[in-house]
Amino acid sequence: MADITDIKSILYTEKTLALQEDGIVVVQTSPRMTKTGLKEVFREYFGIVPTRVNSLNQSGKTKRFRGVVGKQNNFKKFYVQLPEGAQIESLAV
């Protein structure tokens, strides 16, 4: 069962802000989130049914800190297309 706590953040970069003008929101989630789970979260918490959802698995980068090799967490990115004219007020920049 998907929950709002599985959404880690909304990504705000130059590329994602340009996509937001076209009605596409980029969401970073935990790797266990599914497309249907994300649609349920958007329907339940934001009152919007997405028209399209694309997903992308992102592997964590390997980093070195003071000679010790570590790895960042894996995450999943979703490109969520909102219906025409729909906006989420809490996500506005």
Q: Are 33 and 50 in contact (CB under 8 A)?
A: no
CATH of domain 4-85: 3.30.70.330
50 CB contacts (<8 Å, ≥6 apart)?
A: 38, 39, 42, 80, 81, 82, 83
- The domain spans of the chain are 4-85
What is the model's pLDDT at position 18?
Answer: 92
Q: In terms of pTM, does the model score above 0.95?
A: no
Q: What is the residue whose two structure tokens read 């790797």?
A: 31
Nearest to 27 by CA among 80, 87, 90: 80
The whole-number mean pLDDT for each consecutive block of 10 residues of the chain, a chain of 93 residues, reads 83 91 91 92 89 94 94 94 79 56
What is the model's pLDDT at position 86?
Answer: 75
What is the model's pLDDT at position 92?
Answer: 56
Residue 72 backbone dihedrals phi, psi, to 5 degrees: -75, 165
